[in-house]
Amino acid sequence: MTDTTTVAAATKSIWGADVAAGVAQFLQPLVVNLTALSVDGKQAHWHVRGHNFIGIHELLDVYVAHTREWADLVAERVVALGLPVDGRVQTVAASTTTPIYPDGFVSVEDTVANVVTQIDATLEVLHKGITDLEDIDVSSQDVLIEIERGLVKDRWFLQAHIAKA
């Protein structure tokens, strides 16, 4: 006798619909914000001007790579739980909690200040998820803790470029 699995059974979440939905409510906004950080980070990378240009320009490329990696990690976690995720440009533009990044050329100091402000807005989303996921799904919480450590480190690296000793 051949054992077959239906498509519905193969795509059903092993965590249950309530857990998946509970996790997704915290992860979807993070996908949006991390995607916004990635796009605006590239805008900053292209338009930064002033002293220490090359240091900030190159650091922003590293930062953008991190935000893309983290957005992918979070999105894949939602999908692994059996739910779709929405990272479309329209959704990101309509839903991000990050402040709008200025257009045109921006000084090193203002570039760092703007990027750090966006990081801080995303850290607020992260901290809410970290706190609220403790009772829902510790594996998802761990993903957010990992991202929080990295995002705080990137924030520190950026701030160090303009900090007064």
pLDDT tens profile 77-122: 999 999 999 999 999 999 999 999 999 999 999 999 999 999 999 9
Give the range of the structural domain holding residue 129, as residue numbers without chain letter. Answer: 16-160
- Model confidence band, residue 14 (pLDDT cutoffs 50, 70, 90): low
Residue 107 lies in a domain: yes
| CA distances (Å), origin 147, targets 37, 51, 53, 118, 123 | 13, 30, 27, 15, 9
Give the CATH number of the domain where residue 82 resides. Answer: 1.20.1260.10
pLDDT of residue 39: 98
Residue 26 lies in a domain: yes
With 60 as the cut, is the pLDDT of residue 34 above it? yes
Residue 149 lies in a domain: yes
Tally of domains within the chain = 1
With 70 as the cut, is the pLDDT of residue 142 above it? yes
Residue 10 lies in a domain: no
pLDDT of residue 165: 76
pTM here is: 0.89
The more confidently predicted of residues 61 and 2 is: 61
- Model confidence band, residue 12 (pLDDT cutoffs 50, 70, 90): low
pLDDT of residue 6: 42
